Amino acid sequence: MTVQNMTFNGKQGFSKPPHKWDEFFVPYHSELNLGSLAASGVMGNWHTERGLTLCTITLSGHMVPQCKL
């Protein structure tokens, strides 16, 4: 709701509803360091429009690592 009420680069909100965004996929990794285990698979959705990227992550807590799209 907040992003839909924001005006960025001359228009208000995103033109596509969230259920039509691209899936945010995290590939499986075989790193053996138990201190950095993370989930894999489809973890949420993301969308970029007019210079703003929003990534929603399902069941996330207060720590979400930075992602490169």
Query: Among residues 41, 46, 42, which one has the least CA distance to residue 56?
Result: 46
Neighbours of 39 (CB within 10 A): 12
> 28 Cβ partners below 8 Å, 6+ apart?
40, 41
Give the pLDDT confidence score for residue 67 in this predicted structure: 54
pLDDT at 37: 63
User: For 10-68, what is each residue's pLDDT tens digit?
Assistant: 889 888 887 788 998 888 877 766 666 667 889 889 999 998 888 888 888 777 766 55
CA-to-CA dists, residue 20 to 9, 17, 42, 45, 48, angstroms? 21, 6, 14, 9, 12
Listed residue (31, 21, 60) closest to 43, CA to CA: 60
